Amino acid sequence: MCGILAVIGKRSPEEVQKLSKRMSHRGPDESGVHVSPSGAILCHERLSIIDLTTGRQPIQGTKNAYVMHNGEIYNHMELRQGILKNHKFRTTCDSEVIVHLYEQYGLDFCNKMRGIFSFVIIDDDNEKYMVGRDPIGIKPLYYGKDAEENMYFSSEMKSITDQCVEFEAFPPGHYYTPETGLVKYYKPEWQDYKVANKPVDLNQLRDALIDATRVRLMSDVPLAVLLSGGLDSSLISSITKRLLRGTKQELHSFSVGLSNDAPDIKAAREVAKFIGTTHHEVFFSVEEGIKELEKIIWHIESYDVTTIRASTPMYFLSKYISEMGIKVVLSGEGADEVFGGYLYFHNAPSAEEFADETVRRVNLLSTADCLRADKSTMAFGIEARVPFLDRRFLDVAMSIRPEDRMPKRSEGRMEKYIVRKAFDDKNDPYLPQTILWRQKEQFSDGVGYNWIDQIIAHCNSKVSDKEFATAAKLFPYNTPATKEAYYFRAIFEKFYPQPSAIKTVVKWVPKWQENSDPSGRANTMHEQAVTK
């Protein structure tokens, strides 16, 4: 995991390197730069995970093509030993396979990779370049042009906001060259409702998630698990612990909350004891969260309410993990989008609308949970891996007919019912029954209900009625609907006032409920609903 910045045009290497250093938190281990004869500049801030000694980037291919990559290619050994077996490699780094795939297949290779990535390839021999982003957008990437028509590609906005006249998020599942423009390479069949009609096979579903977790254990540094005590992170933690059976590797787990009796803290404690991890509990106060809000918004580059609510505890958790020297964590993001786990999915009017909403949510993950997970952890140089968003797992899970995936309370089917059933092993339990069948608790709620309640109260005290009345005039795009949203937006625009920056943010809003508050407790299905 790293930070990448490419400038195609006429800028001095020294200037570009200074811009790259704005995101040095993404790659605290070392830096690399390549300046091509045509003037293209690649700057790389490296977080060393695979090949700690020779994996410095940019990496040269067989001839004069260079790659710079942020992410992990989990099937890099399979590629090296298979379709790239005749290539000579300079390193053992997973990133190097990208430039060799380019040399062998031209532009048509992104679907051969199983992993997460944003990359830039400079082909000095042909004076060409190529840029690509992973299918779901787990790794961030932005692109734009300055007044002199120089092109910029960056892992974070902060390196380019004051350089580009216009910029935007690079779309997931696409690659770009000047000759082709944007090309969508990721076209899974499950995006068509009529094709996603397979009855659930619980064994296949379970095996696919175990396999997706297995490939994410690839690391030359210690790894750990984020354990909120919810179904998703608990399953990933349990699977990881099982996969490490017979090894000497100690598995650390981490949870975060406001106090000892926070819902997630208590549930995570129960899971950690059950599966046998070395468990750590991290606490933060509402006052500490409020104090760090500006720094957090600068890091995550968003003014979305639910993103900021959830990023704050994840920021404190990541700081603690980093101080322990751990660089890789597995997490449970994506399951709620794939299986309709948010409580508002109980109100889906039909199976077709349920299916459409899961596809929409998966397609928007790069603006929400993936953005939050990446930037909250990478603020401290930590790589987050998300098995639920593995492309092979998605092919299995998203192809299951919506009638099997959707919750049906009248029939006793709670949210993510088929995931729970797939791992309900009575002979060798993955989780305690109290956790396996625990109601969905959104992360920003589970750290302690006071967090959201008090952050709302704080924002209400800081934004007067008179100020809030100017919201539409002051913020005509994505106008804040609450004082909390107003407060966050004002902080965001202190750092990122450009219209292009404002338009990169997509607000997370639930469907099919009476209000638009993203908290799970705003839905009447929640056991502690504030609407009751």
Q: In Å, how far from its chain's centre is CA 438?
A: 24
What are the contacts of 242-249 at 24+ separation with CB within 8 A?
242/430, 243/210, 243/213, 243/214, 243/217, 244/217
Cβ partners under 8 Å of residue 306, min gap 6: 368, 442, 444, 508, 518, 519
- The residue among 285, 286, 303 whose CA lies nearest residue 294 is 303
How far CA 446 is from CA of 230, 265, 267, 454, 519, in Å, comes to: 9, 8, 10, 14, 10
What region, left, alpha or beta, does residue 425 occupy, with left being phi > 0 and alpha being psi -120 to 50 degrees?
beta
Residues 362/364/368/372 CA torsion (nearest 10 deg): 70
- Token pair 């030359």 is found at 220
Encode 155-221 in three state secondary structure.
CCHHHCCCCCCEEEECCCCEEEECCCEEEECCCCHHHCCCCCCECCCHHHHHHHHHHHHHHCCCCCC
Quote the CA–CA distance of 191 and 197 in Å, as a whole number: 11
User: Measured in whole angstroms, how far is the alpha carbon of residue 122 from the centre of its chain?
Assistant: 26
Cα–Cα distance for residue pair 146/164, rounded to 1 Å = 4
Please list the residues that pair with 410 across neighbouring strands.
none
Catalytic residue among 2, 43, 110, 164: 2
Nearest to 157 by CA among 7, 318, 306, 19: 19
CA distance 142 to 7: 12
Q: How far is CA 63 from the centre of its chain?
A: 34
**Integer Rg of the chain from CA:** 23
Distance of CA 246 to the CA centre of its chain: 30
Phi-psi region for residue 276, left (φ > 0), alpha (ψ -120 to 50) or beta? Answer: left
Residue 164 is a catalytic residue: no
Task: Give the residue from 244, 200, 172 showing the smallest Cα distance to 389.
Answer: 172
- Residue carrying structure tokens 């679907």: 111
CA 482 – CA 507 distance, rounded (Å): 13
54, 93 in Cβ contact below 8 A? yes
Are the beta carbons of 400 and 200 closer than 8 angstroms? yes
Residues noted as catalytic: 2
